[in-house]
Structure 1
Amino acid sequence: MKCWKCSQEAYGICRFCGRAVCKEHATEMPFILSVYCPGGGSSRAIVVSGALYCGICKPLPSPVDMPELDERGDERGWEDDK
């Protein structure tokens, strides 16, 4: 496998987009592994520091609303008990 930027031998794969990168172009960035909402508290995240990052892709700084999943979740019984 070759580096996306320079075509040298790849060192690893970007955790965010899947591009291959060599050691020279590999950087690190925190990766959110999981997010959960404890009852009555604020949302919490399990974060992995030092995840391989290509430096090309642009992970968004905040979550994206997906209302279409909320509607389908209600139909399938995914709604939280309140």
Structure 2
Amino acid sequence: ASAGLLVIGDNYFPGWRAAVDRRPAPLLRADYTLRAVPIEAGAHSVDLVYDPLSFRLGVGLSAAGLVLAAFSLVTDRPRWV
């Protein structure tokens, strides 16, 4: 047996990360649209995680917006005369 590629039958898209035996591994394009992970001969554990930067940015910006909204509610109270 020799090294090869594990081809995953769904579309390649930025934001995917791969690990082989819990070590980061390159994620390649196969046949233009599929994902592939190079692996050595033998039995291995392959993990694929979808963690796009856009999602993390969205969570951070949403949290910042909530903090600003809460701050404005605390500081901009109507002054009853």
Task: Report the TM-score when normalising by structure 1.
Answer: 0.24
Q: Which protein is richer in helix relative to its size?
A: 2
Which one has a bigger Cα radius of gyration?
A: 2
> Normalization by structure 2: what TM-score?
0.24
Q: Name which structure has the greater RCO, CA cutoff 8 Å, separation 6+.
A: 2
More strand per residue = 2
